Protein backbone atom coordinates (compact mmCIF):
# COMPACT_ATOMS: atom_id res chain seq x y z
CA UNK A 1 0.00 0.00 0.00
CA UNK A 2 1.42 3.30 -0.98
CA UNK A 3 1.05 6.10 1.43
CA UNK A 4 1.25 9.47 -0.21
CA UNK A 5 2.54 12.72 1.31
CA UNK A 6 -0.16 14.87 2.83
CA UNK A 7 -0.09 18.37 1.40
CA UNK A 8 -1.96 21.26 2.94
CA UNK A 9 -2.89 23.86 0.40
CA UNK A 10 -3.15 27.28 2.06
CA UNK A 11 -6.33 29.18 1.44
CA UNK A 12 -6.44 32.96 0.93
CA UNK A 13 -7.98 33.26 4.41
CA UNK A 14 -5.16 31.30 6.09
CA UNK A 15 -2.54 33.34 4.23
CA UNK A 16 -4.11 36.58 5.45
CA UNK A 17 -4.28 35.22 9.01
CA UNK A 18 -0.57 34.27 8.94
CA UNK A 19 0.30 37.69 7.52
CA UNK A 20 -1.56 39.33 10.42
CA UNK A 21 0.28 37.07 12.87
CA UNK A 22 3.62 38.01 11.30
CA UNK A 23 2.74 41.70 11.46
CA UNK A 24 1.84 41.39 15.13
CA UNK A 25 5.20 39.72 15.83
CA UNK A 26 7.08 42.47 13.96
CA UNK A 27 5.14 45.25 15.70
CA UNK A 28 5.62 43.77 19.16
CA UNK A 29 9.36 43.30 18.45
CA UNK A 30 9.55 47.02 17.56
CA UNK A 31 7.85 47.88 20.87
CA UNK A 32 10.33 45.69 22.76
CA UNK A 33 13.28 47.33 20.98
CA UNK A 34 11.95 50.78 21.83
CA UNK A 35 11.55 49.70 25.47
CA UNK A 36 15.10 48.32 25.39
CA UNK A 37 16.26 51.79 24.36
CA UNK A 38 14.71 53.19 27.51
CA UNK A 39 16.18 50.34 29.56
CA UNK A 40 19.68 51.13 28.29
CA UNK A 41 19.21 54.82 29.12
CA UNK A 42 18.28 53.87 32.68
CA UNK A 43 21.22 51.46 32.98
CA UNK A 44 23.64 54.14 31.75
CA UNK A 45 22.36 56.67 34.31
CA UNK A 46 22.31 54.07 37.11
CA UNK A 47 25.87 53.04 36.22
CA UNK A 48 27.18 56.62 35.99
CA UNK A 49 25.65 57.57 39.35
CA UNK A 50 27.06 54.47 41.04
CA UNK A 51 23.67 53.06 42.04
CA UNK A 52 25.20 49.58 42.06
CA UNK A 53 27.93 50.59 44.53
CA UNK A 54 25.91 49.51 47.58
CA UNK A 55 27.92 46.34 48.05
CA UNK A 56 28.12 45.06 44.46
CA UNK A 57 31.27 44.72 42.38
CA UNK A 58 29.89 46.36 39.24
CA UNK A 59 26.73 47.46 37.51
CA UNK A 60 26.68 44.15 35.61
CA UNK A 61 26.91 42.24 38.91
CA UNK A 62 23.93 44.22 40.24
CA UNK A 63 21.92 43.57 37.06
CA UNK A 64 22.61 39.86 37.35
CA UNK A 65 21.33 39.88 40.95
CA UNK A 66 18.42 42.33 40.68
CA UNK A 67 17.09 41.74 37.16
CA UNK A 68 18.12 38.13 36.61
CA UNK A 69 20.34 38.70 33.56
CA UNK A 70 22.96 36.07 32.88
CA UNK A 71 26.41 37.54 33.75
CA UNK A 72 27.42 37.77 30.08
CA UNK A 73 24.15 39.45 29.08
CA UNK A 74 24.47 41.86 32.01
CA UNK A 75 27.99 42.88 30.97
CA UNK A 76 26.84 43.34 27.38
CA UNK A 77 23.91 45.57 28.39
CA UNK A 78 26.27 47.76 30.42
CA UNK A 79 28.76 47.92 27.53
CA UNK A 80 26.07 48.93 25.03
CA UNK A 81 24.52 51.42 27.46
CA UNK A 82 27.88 53.13 27.98
CA UNK A 83 28.61 53.18 24.25
CA UNK A 84 25.29 54.89 23.52
CA UNK A 85 26.39 57.79 25.72
CA UNK A 86 28.50 59.00 22.79
CA UNK A 87 26.35 57.56 19.99
CA UNK A 88 23.04 59.47 20.16
CA UNK A 89 21.90 58.65 16.62
CA UNK A 90 22.06 54.90 17.24
CA UNK A 91 20.34 55.31 20.60
CA UNK A 92 17.51 57.36 19.10
CA UNK A 93 16.96 54.81 16.32
CA UNK A 94 16.62 52.04 18.93
CA UNK A 95 14.25 54.16 21.05
CA UNK A 96 12.02 54.69 18.00
CA UNK A 97 11.95 50.97 17.29
CA UNK A 98 13.69 51.49 13.95
CA UNK A 99 16.76 49.46 14.85
CA UNK A 100 16.80 46.11 16.62
CA UNK A 101 18.86 45.56 19.74
CA UNK A 102 20.76 42.77 17.94
CA UNK A 103 21.88 45.20 15.23
CA UNK A 104 22.69 47.86 17.80
CA UNK A 105 24.89 45.47 19.83
CA UNK A 106 26.95 44.71 16.74
CA UNK A 107 27.23 48.33 15.59
CA UNK A 108 28.37 49.62 19.00
CA UNK A 109 31.40 47.34 18.82
CA UNK A 110 32.92 49.50 16.10
CA UNK A 111 30.97 52.78 15.93
CA UNK A 112 32.53 56.10 16.91
CA UNK A 113 30.96 59.57 16.86
CA UNK A 114 32.70 60.12 13.50
CA UNK A 115 31.39 56.90 11.88
CA UNK A 116 28.04 56.62 13.67
CA UNK A 117 25.89 58.12 10.90
CA UNK A 118 27.17 55.86 8.12
CA UNK A 119 26.91 52.77 10.33
CA UNK A 120 23.34 53.70 11.23
CA UNK A 121 22.59 53.67 7.50
CA UNK A 122 24.02 50.14 7.37
CA UNK A 123 21.75 49.08 10.25
CA UNK A 124 18.66 50.49 8.56
CA UNK A 125 19.42 49.07 5.14
CA UNK A 126 20.62 45.56 6.00
CA UNK A 127 19.45 42.54 7.92
CA UNK A 128 21.01 41.50 11.22
CA UNK A 129 23.21 39.05 9.31
CA UNK A 130 24.37 41.82 6.95
CA UNK A 131 25.23 44.03 9.92
CA UNK A 132 27.26 41.26 11.60
CA UNK A 133 29.22 40.66 8.39
CA UNK A 134 29.89 44.38 7.92
CA UNK A 135 31.04 44.69 11.54
CA UNK A 136 33.40 41.72 11.17
CA UNK A 137 34.91 43.31 8.05
CA UNK A 138 35.11 46.67 9.83
CA UNK A 139 36.96 45.16 12.78
CA UNK A 140 39.34 43.43 10.40
CA UNK A 141 40.29 46.83 8.94
CA UNK A 142 40.63 48.23 12.47
CA UNK A 143 42.98 45.37 13.41
CA UNK A 144 45.03 46.02 10.28
CA UNK A 145 45.29 49.68 11.26
CA UNK A 146 46.31 48.67 14.79
CA UNK A 147 48.92 46.30 13.35
CA UNK A 148 50.35 49.13 11.24
CA UNK A 149 50.51 51.35 14.32
CA UNK A 150 52.18 48.58 16.36
CA UNK A 151 54.72 48.03 13.57
CA UNK A 152 55.45 51.76 13.53
CA UNK A 153 55.98 51.76 17.30
CA UNK A 154 58.27 48.76 17.02
CA UNK A 155 60.32 50.44 14.31
CA UNK A 156 60.64 53.64 16.33
CA UNK A 157 61.87 51.90 19.49
CA UNK A 158 65.21 53.32 20.67
CA UNK A 159 67.47 53.65 23.69
CA UNK A 160 70.27 56.19 23.84
CA UNK A 161 72.96 55.94 26.51
CA UNK A 162 75.74 58.51 26.36
CA UNK A 163 78.20 60.14 28.82
CA UNK A 164 77.74 63.76 29.78
CA UNK A 165 80.58 66.25 30.13
CA UNK A 166 80.70 65.87 33.94
CA UNK A 167 81.08 62.10 33.79
CA UNK A 168 77.46 61.21 34.47
CA UNK A 169 75.51 59.09 32.01
CA UNK A 170 72.32 60.27 30.29
CA UNK A 171 69.62 57.86 29.19
CA UNK A 172 66.88 58.63 26.71
CA UNK A 173 64.57 56.09 25.14
CA UNK A 174 61.29 55.10 23.57
CA UNK A 175 59.84 51.63 24.24
CA UNK A 176 56.88 49.80 22.80
CA UNK A 177 53.83 49.71 25.05
CA UNK A 178 54.28 46.14 26.31
CA UNK A 179 58.02 46.56 26.92
CA UNK A 180 57.33 49.85 28.66
CA UNK A 181 54.92 48.18 31.07
CA UNK A 182 57.48 45.45 31.76
CA UNK A 183 60.17 48.06 32.39
CA UNK A 184 57.98 50.06 34.77
CA UNK A 185 57.08 46.91 36.72
CA UNK A 186 60.75 45.94 36.96
CA UNK A 187 61.64 49.41 38.25
CA UNK A 188 58.87 49.20 40.85
CA UNK A 189 60.11 45.79 42.04
CA UNK A 190 63.68 47.03 42.24
CA UNK A 191 62.67 50.20 44.07
CA UNK A 192 60.69 48.15 46.56
CA UNK A 193 63.59 45.76 47.13
CA UNK A 194 66.06 48.60 47.53
CA UNK A 195 64.06 50.51 50.10
CA UNK A 196 63.08 47.38 51.98
CA UNK A 197 66.79 46.79 52.46
CA UNK A 198 67.26 50.38 53.60
CA UNK A 199 64.44 50.18 56.13
CA UNK A 200 65.82 46.88 57.45
CA UNK A 201 69.28 48.44 57.79
CA UNK A 202 67.88 51.47 59.63
CA UNK A 203 65.95 49.22 62.00
CA UNK A 204 69.10 47.20 62.78
CA UNK A 205 71.44 50.15 63.38
CA UNK A 206 68.96 52.57 64.92
CA UNK A 207 68.27 56.14 63.83
CA UNK A 208 71.23 58.15 62.61
CA UNK A 209 72.37 61.32 64.41
CA UNK A 210 71.69 63.30 61.25
CA UNK A 211 68.59 61.98 59.44
CA UNK A 212 69.11 61.24 55.77
CA UNK A 213 67.05 63.24 53.31
CA UNK A 214 64.28 61.24 51.64
CA UNK A 215 65.19 60.73 47.96
CA UNK A 216 62.83 62.13 45.37
CA UNK A 217 60.92 59.75 43.11
CA UNK A 218 63.33 60.55 40.26
CA UNK A 219 66.27 59.68 42.52
CA UNK A 220 64.57 56.47 43.64
CA UNK A 221 64.01 55.52 40.00
CA UNK A 222 67.70 56.07 39.28
CA UNK A 223 68.69 53.91 42.27
CA UNK A 224 66.25 51.22 41.16
CA UNK A 225 67.74 51.18 37.66
CA UNK A 226 71.19 50.72 39.17
CA UNK A 227 69.90 47.77 41.20
CA UNK A 228 68.37 46.29 38.04
CA UNK A 229 71.73 46.46 36.31
CA UNK A 230 73.60 44.93 39.25
CA UNK A 231 71.16 42.08 39.80
CA UNK A 232 70.94 41.36 36.08
CA UNK A 233 74.68 40.65 36.19
CA UNK A 234 74.06 38.40 39.18
CA UNK A 235 71.19 36.58 37.43
CA UNK A 236 68.05 37.81 39.18
CA UNK A 237 66.44 40.19 41.62
CA UNK A 238 65.76 38.98 45.15
CA UNK A 239 63.43 41.47 46.87
CA UNK A 240 63.09 39.25 49.95
CA UNK A 241 61.12 36.23 51.05
CA UNK A 242 57.55 36.25 49.66
CA UNK A 243 56.07 35.90 53.13
CA UNK A 244 57.89 39.07 54.24
CA UNK A 245 57.36 40.93 51.01
CA UNK A 246 53.58 40.64 51.08
CA UNK A 247 53.10 41.02 54.80
CA UNK A 248 51.01 43.97 56.02
CA UNK A 249 51.65 45.08 59.59
CA UNK A 250 48.96 47.01 61.46
CA UNK A 251 49.33 48.43 64.95
CA UNK A 252 45.93 48.55 66.63
CA UNK A 253 44.76 48.86 70.22
CA UNK A 254 42.77 45.95 71.63
CA UNK A 255 39.88 48.28 72.45
CA UNK A 256 39.65 49.35 68.80
CA UNK A 257 39.60 45.75 67.57
CA UNK A 258 36.68 45.02 69.87
CA UNK A 259 34.80 48.25 69.13
CA UNK A 260 35.41 50.36 66.03
CA UNK A 261 34.06 53.42 67.84
CA UNK A 262 36.53 53.14 70.71
CA UNK A 263 39.40 55.58 71.11
CA UNK A 264 42.84 54.27 70.21
CA UNK A 265 45.36 53.80 67.47
CA UNK A 266 44.90 51.92 64.19
CA UNK A 267 47.94 52.57 62.02
CA UNK A 268 50.09 50.81 59.44
CA UNK A 269 53.79 50.10 59.91
CA UNK A 270 54.72 53.44 58.33
CA UNK A 271 52.43 55.37 60.67
CA UNK A 272 49.62 55.95 58.19
CA UNK A 273 46.26 55.82 59.95
CA UNK A 274 43.65 53.33 58.71
CA UNK A 275 40.01 53.04 59.80
CA UNK A 276 39.25 50.71 62.68
CA UNK A 277 37.06 48.67 60.34
CA UNK A 278 40.08 48.04 58.14
CA UNK A 279 42.04 46.75 61.11
CA UNK A 280 39.17 44.43 62.04
CA UNK A 281 38.97 43.11 58.47
CA UNK A 282 42.72 42.46 58.28
CA UNK A 283 42.64 40.78 61.69
CA UNK A 284 39.82 38.40 60.69
CA UNK A 285 42.34 35.81 59.53
CA UNK A 286 45.82 36.91 60.59
CA UNK A 287 48.67 36.26 62.97
CA UNK A 288 48.52 38.39 66.10
CA UNK A 289 51.25 39.71 68.40
CA UNK A 290 50.06 41.19 71.67
CA UNK A 291 52.39 43.81 73.18
CA UNK A 292 51.77 45.31 76.59
CA UNK A 293 53.16 48.77 77.27
CA UNK A 294 54.15 50.46 80.50
CA UNK A 295 53.07 53.94 81.48
CA UNK A 296 56.16 55.38 79.82
CA UNK A 297 55.18 53.71 76.50
CA UNK A 298 57.88 51.04 76.56
CA UNK A 299 57.03 47.43 75.71
CA UNK A 300 57.04 45.34 78.88
CA UNK A 301 55.65 42.03 77.53
CA UNK A 302 55.15 40.34 74.16
CA UNK A 303 52.77 37.45 73.63
CA UNK A 304 52.69 35.87 70.16
CA UNK A 305 49.59 33.91 69.20
CA UNK A 306 47.60 33.36 66.07
CA UNK A 307 44.07 33.93 64.85
CA UNK A 308 44.78 32.41 61.46
CA UNK A 309 42.14 29.88 60.36
CA UNK A 310 43.78 26.42 60.49
CA UNK A 311 44.22 24.64 57.12
CA UNK A 312 41.72 21.87 57.88
CA UNK A 313 39.07 24.38 58.95
CA UNK A 314 39.79 26.52 55.90
CA UNK A 315 39.27 23.52 53.60
CA UNK A 316 35.94 22.79 55.28
CA UNK A 317 34.94 26.46 54.94
CA UNK A 318 35.71 26.52 51.22
CA UNK A 319 33.94 23.20 50.71
CA UNK A 320 30.81 24.44 52.49
CA UNK A 321 30.51 27.97 51.09
CA UNK A 322 31.95 27.40 47.57
CA UNK A 323 32.67 31.12 47.16
CA UNK A 324 31.66 34.54 48.48
CA UNK A 325 28.36 34.32 50.37
CA UNK A 326 27.34 37.94 49.76
CA UNK A 327 24.00 37.92 47.87
CA UNK A 328 24.51 37.51 44.15
CA UNK A 329 28.30 37.19 44.31
CA UNK A 330 29.78 33.69 44.60
CA UNK A 331 33.24 34.90 43.55
CA UNK A 332 36.13 32.53 44.25
CA UNK A 333 38.39 32.37 46.15
CA UNK A 334 37.11 33.96 49.35
CA UNK A 335 38.52 35.27 52.60
CA UNK A 336 37.54 33.82 55.95
CA UNK A 337 35.30 36.25 57.87
CA UNK A 338 34.48 35.92 61.56
CA UNK A 339 30.75 36.66 61.79
CA UNK A 340 31.31 37.59 65.42
CA UNK A 341 34.83 39.01 65.54
CA UNK A 342 37.28 37.10 67.71
CA UNK A 343 38.16 40.37 69.48
CA UNK A 344 34.55 40.38 70.70
CA UNK A 345 34.72 36.79 71.89
CA UNK A 346 33.76 35.09 68.63
CA UNK A 347 35.32 31.61 68.19
CA UNK A 348 37.29 30.46 65.16
CA UNK A 349 34.78 27.73 64.32
CA UNK A 350 33.02 26.75 61.11
CA UNK A 351 29.66 28.03 62.36
CA UNK A 352 31.18 31.46 63.09
CA UNK A 353 32.92 31.75 59.72
CA UNK A 354 31.75 32.76 56.25
CA UNK A 355 33.57 33.18 52.97
CA UNK A 356 33.56 36.69 51.55
CA UNK A 357 35.47 38.02 48.55
CA UNK A 358 37.83 40.93 49.13
CA UNK A 359 35.25 43.48 47.94
CA UNK A 360 32.46 42.24 50.20
CA UNK A 361 34.75 41.60 53.15
CA UNK A 362 35.47 45.31 53.00
CA UNK A 363 31.75 46.09 52.64
CA UNK A 364 30.96 44.24 55.87
CA UNK A 365 33.79 45.73 57.93
CA UNK A 366 34.11 49.26 56.54
CA UNK A 367 30.90 50.15 54.72
CA UNK A 368 28.30 49.29 57.30
CA UNK A 369 26.90 46.04 55.89
CA UNK A 370 25.96 43.44 58.48
CA UNK A 371 25.85 39.66 58.41
CA UNK A 372 24.47 37.21 60.95
CA UNK A 373 23.86 33.49 61.01
CA UNK A 374 20.27 32.54 61.70
CA UNK A 375 19.27 29.56 63.86
CA UNK A 376 18.62 27.48 60.74
CA UNK A 377 22.24 28.04 59.65
CA UNK A 378 21.45 30.43 56.81
CA UNK A 379 23.17 33.82 56.57
CA UNK A 380 21.23 37.06 56.64
CA UNK A 381 22.79 40.20 55.19
CA UNK A 382 21.59 43.73 55.85
CA UNK A 383 22.32 47.04 54.19
CA UNK A 384 23.93 49.85 56.21
CA UNK A 385 20.45 51.27 56.92
CA UNK A 386 19.31 47.94 58.34
CA UNK A 387 17.16 46.82 55.42
CA UNK A 388 17.53 43.13 54.54
CA UNK A 389 19.52 42.23 51.43
CA UNK A 390 17.91 39.03 50.12
CA UNK A 391 19.78 36.30 48.27
CA UNK A 392 17.19 36.52 45.48
CA UNK A 393 15.21 39.78 45.15
CA UNK A 394 11.44 39.73 44.75
CA UNK A 395 10.22 40.12 41.16
CA UNK A 396 8.55 43.43 40.27
CA UNK A 397 4.75 43.62 40.13
CA UNK A 398 3.47 43.81 36.55
CA UNK A 399 0.11 44.80 35.12
CA UNK A 400 -2.17 41.96 33.95
CA UNK A 401 -1.43 42.83 30.31
CA UNK A 402 2.11 44.27 30.22
CA UNK A 403 2.14 44.41 26.39
CA UNK A 404 -0.91 46.73 26.42
CA UNK A 405 0.85 48.94 28.98
CA UNK A 406 3.92 49.05 26.73
CA UNK A 407 1.88 50.02 23.69
CA UNK A 408 0.01 52.72 25.63
CA UNK A 409 3.27 54.16 26.96
CA UNK A 410 4.77 54.40 23.47
CA UNK A 411 1.60 55.99 22.07
CA UNK A 412 1.75 58.58 24.86
CA UNK A 413 5.34 59.32 23.76
CA UNK A 414 4.19 59.86 20.19
CA UNK A 415 5.67 56.61 18.87
CA UNK A 416 3.63 55.02 16.09
CA UNK A 417 5.15 51.57 15.79
CA UNK A 418 3.93 49.10 13.22
CA UNK A 419 5.01 45.94 11.45
CA UNK A 420 7.32 47.77 9.03
CA UNK A 421 9.01 50.12 11.53
CA UNK A 422 12.22 48.08 11.75
CA UNK A 423 12.06 46.47 8.30
CA UNK A 424 15.43 46.78 6.53
CA UNK A 425 15.68 48.54 3.18
CA UNK A 426 17.40 45.52 1.63
CA UNK A 427 15.89 44.51 -1.73
CA UNK A 428 17.47 41.06 -1.92
CA UNK A 429 20.67 41.92 -3.74
CA UNK A 430 23.90 40.10 -2.82
CA UNK A 431 25.97 41.78 -0.11
CA UNK A 432 29.52 42.61 -1.22
CA UNK A 433 31.26 43.03 2.13
CA UNK A 434 34.60 44.11 0.65
CA UNK A 435 33.02 46.84 -1.46
CA UNK A 436 30.88 47.99 1.48
CA UNK A 437 33.91 48.27 3.80
CA UNK A 438 35.89 50.13 1.12
CA UNK A 439 33.05 52.65 0.84
CA UNK A 440 32.22 52.98 4.55
CA UNK A 441 35.42 52.60 6.61
CA UNK A 442 37.50 55.81 6.80
CA UNK A 443 40.76 53.80 6.92
CA UNK A 444 39.94 51.18 4.29
CA UNK A 445 41.82 52.93 1.48
CA UNK A 446 44.37 54.56 3.75
CA UNK A 447 47.53 52.41 3.87
CA UNK A 448 48.80 54.44 6.78
- 403-413 pLDDT tens trace: 788 888 888 88
Percent share of the chain, pLDDT over 70 = 75
Which backbone phi and psi does 199 adopt, to 5 degrees? -65, -40
pLDDT at 302: 53
Whole-angstrom distance, CA of residue 34 vs CA of residue 32? 5
Contact call for residues 198 and 215 (beta carbons, < 8 A): no
Model confidence pLDDT, tens digit, residues 61-107: 999 989 889 989 999 999 999 999 999 999 999 999 999 999 999 99
Whole-angstrom distance, CA of residue 424 vs CA of residue 128? 9
pLDDT at 123: 92
What are the contacts of 41-44 at 24+ separation with CB within 8 A? 41/81, 41/84, 41/91, 41/95, 43/77, 43/78, 43/81, 44/81, 44/82, 44/84, 44/85
Q: Which residues of the chain have pLDDT under 70?
A: 1-8, 146-147, 149-150, 167, 177-178, 196-214, 234-251, 256-264, 266-274, 276, 279, 282, 285-307, 445-448
pLDDT at 241: 43
Cα angle for residues 298, 299, 301 (degrees, 5° grid)? 150
| DSSP assignment letter at 401 | S
Whole-angstrom distance, CA of residue 87 vs CA of residue 322? 41
Amino acid sequence: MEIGTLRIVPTPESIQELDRLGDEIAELAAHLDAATGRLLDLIREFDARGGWGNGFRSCAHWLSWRVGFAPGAAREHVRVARALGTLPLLGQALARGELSYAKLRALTRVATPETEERLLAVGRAGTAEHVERIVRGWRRVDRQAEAREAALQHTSRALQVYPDSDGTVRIKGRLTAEVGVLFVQALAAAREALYQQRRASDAATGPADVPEETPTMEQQQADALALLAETALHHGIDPGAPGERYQVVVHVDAEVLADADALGQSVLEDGARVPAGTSQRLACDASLVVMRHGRDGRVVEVDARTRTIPPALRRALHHRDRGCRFPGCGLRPGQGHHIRHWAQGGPTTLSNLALLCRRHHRAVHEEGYQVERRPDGELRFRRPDGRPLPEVPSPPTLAPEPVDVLRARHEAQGLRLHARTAMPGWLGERLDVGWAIDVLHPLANNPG
